[in-house]
C-alpha cells in the first residue's frame, strides 16, 4: 500500500476555491485502490498563524465537518487531529536534535519574514517566533512518523518536503538504519484554480471568496456579485475570457459546459448566466450542506470520529516511536548492556560449559526445525520447517552471516500473534526464518530481541 498524507490547516472556513482545488480531488483520490490515506487537522500548525483560541477551536470544528460532509470516509482513511497524537511532538524533538540550523535558515517562510523585517528597517528577527522557524521540523514529523510515500502539496510547499527528506536522511545516517521512508512531493499539474468575485484567484487574502456553506439565498447573492464585462444581452460573449464561465465549468458536466458555451455564443445575458451558475453550485452542495449543518450542530459526533481516528494512527505511531527511542539511546535500563571488561569480553559461558546454541529437531510432519536457546537452555526462538537437516543448518549459517544491523533492520519486533506479540527473524525483508513465543507487549518483544541478538553473537564468537 502506498501511503499518502495530507495536512489541513485549521484556520478559517473553506470556500469554493478550496473545495474545487483541494478538497474534492483529495477525497476522490482517497478512494483509489492501493492507497492508504492519512488526513489530519493541523491544529499545531494553526498556532503559528493564529493566536485567537476561539477561532482555532471553531475552525477545527468547521473544517472537520466540511471534509466529512463532502464525503471523506473515516472508515476508509485515517482522519485525525494532529494534537491528539503525542508521538508527533516527541518525534519533532528527536528530529530537531539532528536538524542543521542552516537548513532552517533557508526555509522560504522564515526568509520571507526576515526580508520583510529588513525592508521595514526592523531587526531581522523582529516578531518571528520559534514556531515559525521550527515549522519545517514539525511538518517533517507529521510526514515521517507515518512513513508516508507521497505528500500532495502546492508548489510553494515543495521545499518543506525536501527539508523532510534531508532530515530523514541525516537521522538514518546517524543511527545506522533506514528508519524513515523518504517522502516525495506530489504536485498536481492541472489543479483547478477558481477565480474569485473580482476575477483574481479566489483567496481570503484578496477578500474575494464565496464561502462554501452559504444558504441558497446568500449563495445566489454572492454569485450575482461576480464581476463581468459590459456586454449586454444578445451580444456574443467569449467563454474563455469569462471568470463566470471558469467557475461554471468547475461544477458543470461536460454536456452542461458545452451548452453554456453555446449560450455564450448566442449572447446569454450576464444575469441569466449567473442564475444558472448559482443553481448549478447549489445542486452540488445542497445535500452536503445539510450534512454539514447536522455535524456542526452535533460536535460530539465529530469528536468521536477524531478520537477513533487518533486511536488507529497511534497504533501505527507507538511501535515506531519506540523503535526510534531505542535508536537514539532512550532505553529502559534493563536493556542497557554492561560495559565490557577483560573478564567479560569472552562469550558468556555457564560453569558447566553450556553456551547459546542452535538445537535441530524433527516435528511429526517430517519437517526439520531449529531452536535458538541461551546459555541457560531457555528457548528464545523457533524456526520455520525445513525439508532436511542440511536446509535447517544452512538457514542457521545464513542467519549468523547476516550483519547485526541488517538483522535488526529486517526483524519484525512486536508482530501481532495469538496471545500477544512476537519477534520475527527474517533472512530477507520477505523471508521469515524464526519466531519467538508470544510476548505480552512491544517492550517485552524488544527485550527478547536483544537476548536473541546476544545469543547469536555468542554463537558467532564461539565459532570464530
Spatial neighbors of 62 by CB under 8 A, at least 6 apart, are: 13, 14, 296
d(CA 249, CA 264): 13
Burial, 40: exposed, middle or buried (Cβ in 10 Å; 0-12, 13-18, 19+)?
buried
Domain with CATH 3.40.50.620 in the chain: 2-192+298-328
- CATH classification number, 339-463, choose in 1.20.58.100, 3.20.20.70, 1.10.1740.10, 2.30.29.80: 2.30.29.80
The DSSP H or E segment spanning 382 is strand 379-383
| Cα–Cα dist 256/258, whole Å | 5
Length of the chain: 464
78 in Cβ contact with 39 (< 8 Å): yes
Residue 151, all three cell numbers? 505528500
pTM as predicted: 0.71
C-alpha cell at 79: 482522519
Confidence of residue 35 (pLDDT cuts 50, 70, 90): very high
How far apart are alpha carbons 183 and 167 in whole angstroms?
11
Q: Is the pLDDT of residue 345 over 70?
A: no
pLDDT digits (tens, 9 = 90+) for 159-169: 999 999 999 99
Tell me the percentage of the chain whose pLDDT exceeds 70. 94
Chain-centroid distance, C-alpha 50: 23
Residue in this structure with the C-alpha cell 520447517, named with its chain if needed = 385
* Topology of the domain comprising 213-294: Tyrosyl-Transfer RNA Synthetase (1.10.240)
Reported as a pLDDT band with limits 50, 70 and 90, residue 92 is very high
Q: How many CA atoms lie within 13 A of 64 on its CB side?
A: 31
Where in the chain do CATH 1.10.240.10 domains reside? 213-294
Q: How is 340-369 classified by DSSP, letter by letter?
A: P-TTTSSPP--TTS---EEEEEE-TTS-EE
CATH code of 2-192+298-328, in short, is 3.40.50.620
pLDDT of residue 122: 95
* pLDDT band, residue 342 (cuts 50/70/90): very low
Amino acid at each position: 500500500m502506498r501511503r499518502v498524507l495530507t495536512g489541513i490547516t485549521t484556520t478559517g472556513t473553506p470556500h469554493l476555491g478550496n473545495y474545487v482545488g483541494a478538497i474534492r480531488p483529495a477525497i476522490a483520490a482517497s478512494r483509489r485502490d492501493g492507497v492508504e490515506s492519512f488526513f489530519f487537522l493541523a491544529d499545531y500548525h494553526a498556532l503559528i498563524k493564529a493566536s485567537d483560541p476561539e477561532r482555532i477551536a471553531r475552525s477545527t470544528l468547521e473544517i472537520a465537518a466540511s471534509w466529512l460532509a463532502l464525503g471523506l470516509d473515516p472508515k476508509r482513511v485515517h482522519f485525525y487531529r494532529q494534537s491528539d497524537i503525542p508521538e508527533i511532538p516527541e518525534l519533532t524533538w528527536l528530529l530537531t536534535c539532528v536538524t542543521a540550523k542552516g537548513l532552517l535558515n533557508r526555509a522560504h517562510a522564515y526568509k520571507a519574514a526576515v526580508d520583510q523585517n529588513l525592508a521595514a528597517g526592523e531587526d531581522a528577527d523582529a516578531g518571528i517566533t520559534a514556531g515559525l522557524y521550527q515549522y519545517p521540523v514539525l511538518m517533517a514529523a507529521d510526514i515521517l512518523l507515518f512513513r508516508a510515500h507521497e505528500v500532495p502539496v502546492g508548489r510553494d510547499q515543495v521545499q518543506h518536503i525536501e527539508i523532510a527528506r534531508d532530515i530523514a536522511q541525516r537521522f538514518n545516517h546517524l543511527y545506522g538504519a533506514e528508519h524513515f521512508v523518504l517522502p516525495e512531493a506530489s504536485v498536481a499539474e492541472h489543479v483547478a484554480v477558481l477565480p474569485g468575485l473580482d476575477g483574481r484567484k479566489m483567496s481570503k487574502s484578496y477578500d474575494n471568496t464565496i464561502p462554501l456553506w452559504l444558504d441558497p439565498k446568500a449563495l445566489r447573492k454572492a454569485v450575482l456579485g461576480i464581476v463581468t464585462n459590459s456586454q449586454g444581452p444578445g451580444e456574443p460573449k467569449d467563454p474563455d475570457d469569462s471568470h463566470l464561465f471558469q467557475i461554471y465549468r468547475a461544477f458543470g458536466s461536460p454536456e452542461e459546459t458545452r451548452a453554456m458555451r453555446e449560450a455564450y455564443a448566442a449572447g446569454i445575458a450576464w444575469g441569466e448566466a449567473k442564475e444558472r451558475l448559482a443553481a448549478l453550485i447549489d445542486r452540488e452542495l445542497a445535500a452536503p450542506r445539510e450534512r454539514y449543518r447536522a455535524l456542526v450542530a452535533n460536535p460530539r459526533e465529530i469528536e468521536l470520529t477524531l478520537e477513533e481516528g487518533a486511536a488507529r494512527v497511534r497504533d501505527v505511531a507507538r511501535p515506531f516511536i519506540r523503535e526510534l527511542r531505542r535508536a537514539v539511546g532512550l532505553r529502559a535500563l534493563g536493556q542497557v548492556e554492561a560495559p565490557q571488561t577483560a573478564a567479560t569480553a569472552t562469550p558468556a559461558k555457564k560453569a558447566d560449559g553450556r553456551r547459546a546454541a542452535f538445537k535441530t529437531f524433527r516435528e511429526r510432519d517430517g519437517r526439520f526445525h531449529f531452536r535458538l536457546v541461551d546459555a541457560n537452555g531457555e528457548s528464545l526462538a523457533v524456526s520455520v520447517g525445513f525439508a532436511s537437516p542440511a536446509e535447517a543448518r544452512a538457514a542457521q549459517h545464513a542467519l549468523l552471516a547476516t550483519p547485526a544491523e541488517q538483522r535488526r533492520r529486517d526483524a519484525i519486533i512486536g508482530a501481532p500473534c495469538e496471545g500477544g506479540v512476537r519477534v520475527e527473524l527474517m533472512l530477507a525483508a520477505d523471508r521469515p526464518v524464526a519466531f519467538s513465543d508470544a510476548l505480552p507487549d512491544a517492550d517485552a518483544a524488544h527485550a527478547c530481541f536483544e537476548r536473541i541478538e546476544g545469543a547469536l553473537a555468542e554463537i558467532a564468537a564461539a565459532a570464530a
